[in-house]
Amino acid sequence: MRYDNQANRIRKEVLVRVAKAFMSDRPETAIDRIPLEMRPKGCDASRCCIYKDREVLKHRTMAALGFSVEDETGELTPLRDYFDSALQREAIEVTGLTVIDIACSACLKGSYLVTNACRGCLGRACQTNCPKGAIDFVDGCAVINPELCVNCGLCLKACPYNAIVRTPIPCEESCPVKAISKDESGREVIDQEKCISCGQCVVACPFAAIQDRSQMIDVLKTLKSGGKTVALIAPSIVGQFPGDLEQMAAALEQLGFVNVEEVAAGADETVRLETAEWKERVGEETPFMTTSCCPAYIEAVKKHLPELAPFVSHTPSPMAISAHWVKEADPQVTTVFIGPCVAKRTEALQNPDVDYVLTFEELGAMLIAAKIDVLECEPVALSRSGQAGGRGFPVSGGVTGAIQAHLGDAADALKPVAFNGLDSKSLMRLKMTATRGCGGNFVEVMCCEGGCQSGPGVLCNPAVAGRKLTELLAES
C-alpha cells in the first residue's frame, strides 16, 4: 500500500511519458502534450477540474526533466523550453526534494479533530479532560480551538463515542529531521538546510506533491550520444525487475550501457575495509563505530548529529568504491548508479566518480519507453559481480552479517547494534549514543526501515524482493 498507490503510479506514468517523448521523432511536441494526454477533455479529474490536474502534471513533467518548482521561469513557459534546457545540461549541479506547491493539499494543521459522530453528550469527558481548556461546545457539538490545543490527545482517549480523530500531516510525520513544515499559506515547504534527502516524505504524501529532480533525461542523452556509459546496479536491484541479474544486464546493454557492474562487488570491498577499520579503531581510539554506507544517515550526521561524526566509519560507500574502480580504469567513462535511493543523488553530487544517479522507477520508465522486456532478454555476463556478503547489503542486518562473516572466528568480539529505520525518535536515541555509548561496539544505521529494499524508489514489495534476495544469496 505504502509504495503502490494511485499517486505513486501517476508519478511513474509521467516518467514513462517523458522517456517515450525523448525517444519519439518529435520530442518537443510530445513533451508539451503530456498534461493534455494524461487529462484529456471529458475525463474524470483527480482534483477540482482537469485544468488544475494539467497544471500539476506540468510541474510533475518539469520534475521528470530535472527541474523544481522554483526553477519555473514563467507561467507561460511551455514544457518544451524546459526540455531544451534539460538537454543543454552538462552535469548535475543541484539535487534535493521540493514540494509542488499547487499539488500540496495543505493538510489540516490541527492534529485532533472532532467529527460529526460527536453527540454533544452531557458527560463532556473531552472538555473535562482537556488540560488547556481548548474545547468549546458550539451548536451542541465539541469544537477544538487550534490556538489552545497542544495535541496531547487526551480528548481522543476520553470520548466514549470515538468521535475525535487524529489527522496527521503525512509528510511532516514521516520526516525524521523536521525539515518540512507549513508556510503562511498552509502549504508545505522543505528547509534545504535541514533536509537529509531520505525521501520518506515523497513516499508518505498521498497527493504525491513532493518531487525529486530526475536525472533520467541526462542519462538518456548520454546514452543516445553513444559515449561509454557504465551502469552500476545497487545490490537492492534483486527483485526490482522481472528476470535475473544476467537478464537485467542484457536489458541495460540494450538501453545503451557498455558495461554493467554489480555494486555488490564494491560492497564486498566496503566489508573488507570497514572490518579492518573497526579492528584498528574500536577499543583504544573509540568505543564504537557506525556504518557509513547510508547517505541519508551521513547527511543526518552532518546536519543534525555533529557529535556523532567521530564515530562514523571512514570507509567509502559501495557506490563510491564501484564508481572509483570504473573511473580509475577509464576516466572518460560516464558512471550511472541505479538504486532505490534519493539520498544517493546528494552523495553523488559530492563524488566526482559518480556522474548520475537513477532510481529503479526511472530505469523502469526507460525500459518501458524502449520496449525492452527483461524477461525476454538473453542473459549476458556482468562485468563485475558481487559475493554473498555484498549482495546482502540491502536488508537491515546485512552489513553487520557480512562483517561478522568476514571476521570469522573473531566475530564474537563484534557487539552489533542496529538502527533499522530513522524517525525523529530513533534519531534522538542515535544522538545520545555519542555521549552515553550504544551498548555495543558496532552500529549499523539504515535510514529506511528494512534497509534499501524499502527505499523510496523501489518497484517491488519488499517482502517479495526479500525472498528473491534470499534465493540469490543461497546460490552466491
Partner 1 sequence: MSDLIDVEICTGTTCFVMGAGHLLNLAEELPERLRGVVSIRGSHCLGFCDDPSKGKPPFARVNEELLSEVTAEGLIAACDKALAIEKDGDDHAV
Quote the least distance from Cβ 328 to partner 1, whole Å: 33
How many DSSP H helices and E strands does the chain contain? 19, 15
Q: CA 349 from chain center: how many Å?
A: 16
Among residues 464, 430, 432, which one has the least CA distance to residue 447?
A: 430
Give the interface with partner 1 as residue ranges (CB under 8 A): 1, 3-4, 9, 12-13, 16, 239-242, 251, 361, 364-365, 367-368, 372-376, 459-461, 463-464
- Our CB check for partner 1 shows the closer of 15 and 414 to be 15
Q: Which residues pair with 286 in a beta bridge?
A: 282
Amino acid at site 140: G
Quote the least distance from Cβ 242 to partner 1, whole Å: 5
- Our CB check for partner 1 shows the closer of 190 and 369 to be 369
Quote the least distance from Cβ 374 to partner 1, whole Å: 5
Spatial distance between the Cα atoms of 61 and 48, rounded to a whole number of angstroms: 20
- Our CB check for partner 1 shows the closer of 134 and 366 to be 366
Map grid coordinates 503562511 to a residue. 184
Quote the least distance from Cβ 368 to partner 1, whole Å: 5
- Our CB check for partner 1 shows the closer of 387 and 461 to be 461
- Our CB check for partner 1 shows the closer of 339 and 364 to be 364
Quote the least distance from Cβ 331 to partner 1, whole Å: 33
Quote the least distance from Cβ 361 to partner 1, whole Å: 7
- Our CB check for partner 1 shows the closer of 307 and 373 to be 373
Q: CB of 158 within 8 A of CB of 175?
A: no
Chain length of the chain: 476
Q: CB of 219 within 8 A of CB of 358?
A: yes
Q: Where are the beta strands (DSSP E) in 43-130?
A: 97-99, 112-114
* SS3 state of residue 156: helix
- Our CB check for partner 1 shows the closer of 159 and 452 to be 452
Quote the least distance from Cβ 459 to partner 1, whole Å: 4
Q: CA–CA distance from 67 to each of 28, 50, 63, 188, 343 (Å)?
A: 16, 23, 5, 18, 17
* SS3 state of residue 142: strand
Contacts 24+ apart (CB under 8 A), 355-360: 355/91, 355/92, 355/222, 356/92, 356/215, 356/218, 356/219, 356/222, 357/215, 358/215, 358/216, 358/219, 359/212, 359/456, 359/457, 360/237, 360/240, 360/241, 360/457, 360/458, 360/459
- Our CB check for partner 1 shows the closer of 183 and 376 to be 376
Quote the least distance from Cβ 413 to partner 1, whole Å: 38
Spatial distance between the Cα atoms of 159 and 114, rounded to a whole number of angstroms: 10
Tell me the three cell numbers of residue 435: 555521549
- Our CB check for partner 1 shows the closer of 316 and 340 to be 340
Quote the least distance from Cβ 440 to partner 1, whole Å: 33
- Our CB check for partner 1 shows the closer of 255 and 271 to be 255
- Our CB check for partner 1 shows the closer of 202 and 265 to be 202
- Our CB check for partner 1 shows the closer of 40 and 168 to be 40
Backbone angles phi, psi at 194, to 5 degrees: -100, -30
Quote the least distance from Cβ 205 to partner 1, whole Å: 18
Quote the least distance from Cβ 461 to partner 1, whole Å: 4
Quote the least distance from Cβ 464 to partner 1, whole Å: 5
Q: Which residues pair with 137 in a beta bridge?
A: 142
Spatial distance between the Cα atoms of 64 and 73, rounded to a whole number of angstroms: 16
Spatial distance between the Cα atoms of 281 and 234, rounded to a whole number of angstroms: 28
- What secondary structure does DSSP assign to 369-429, as a single string? HTT--GGGSPP---SB---HHHHTTTSTTHHHHHHHHHHGGGGGG--EEEEES--HHHHHH
